[in-house]
Amino acid sequence: MTRLLISAVCGAALALTAAPAFAQQSVPVDAGAGNSDEKVNQLIIYGQDACPPSSDSELVICVRKGEGERFRIPEPLRGIDSPKSEAWANKVQAYETVGAFGTLSCSPVGAGGSLGCTQQLIDRASAERKNGSEVRFGELIAAERQKRLSTIDEDAAAQQARVEEAEKAYFDQRQRQEAAEDAALGQATTPPKPK
């Protein structure tokens, strides 16, 4: 019995120490979605902690949660999966479908009864995603990319102006050097005037 208790405590300790590493993993971005060398670092920060700045090769997305959430079990994992914790509305809804059978009913009774199961799974998954309380990193990444891409035209125009200015300075200097060389050659090859 004590062995079981000790192993359970060790397992819980390992699970709690692995949580911060999970929240700070770096995820490479799809090649079709942007720069193939760009990495996205998704962080959950707490309280007044500073969010690390993004760099040219890494996009940092921070989600801020309250200081009270720092050492708690993540919200999606806090629920208890037992019949006691199920809402009465869900239990009543289960009784409403007792007589449902036939095509697209997701029941073993009637012709085509099993065809409705896939649609029920899809509906349930989309409702969970829509009403979920977890962080939507995909939307935050898209917003950060849009913010970064909004200045790309101005940056490109400024860079082009700097390049053209450097080219003009280089060609002007080159023309002055050639003119000076031509003048020096002209003086050296000019025969002296007879007296």
Query: Can you tell me the distance from the alpha carbon of 143 to that of 135, in angstroms, rounded to the nearest whole number?
Result: 14
Query: Can you tell me the distance from the alpha carbon of 42 to that of 22, in angstroms, rounded to the nearest whole number?
Result: 10
Question: Where are the domains positioned within the chain?
Answer: 1-78, 83-150, 151-189
> What is the chain's mean pLDDT, rounded?
76
Q: Which DSSP state fits 50?
A: P
Q: Percent of the chain beyond pLDDT 90?
A: 22
- Cα 61–19–137 angle (5° rounding)? 25
Question: Whole-prediction pTM value?
Answer: 0.35
The 10s digit of each residue's pLDDT in 177-194 is: 999 988 888 776 666 666
The 10s digit of each residue's pLDDT in 34-67 is: 555 778 999 999 999 999 998 888 999 999 999 9
The 10s digit of each residue's pLDDT in 86-107 is: 777 877 777 766 666 777 777 7
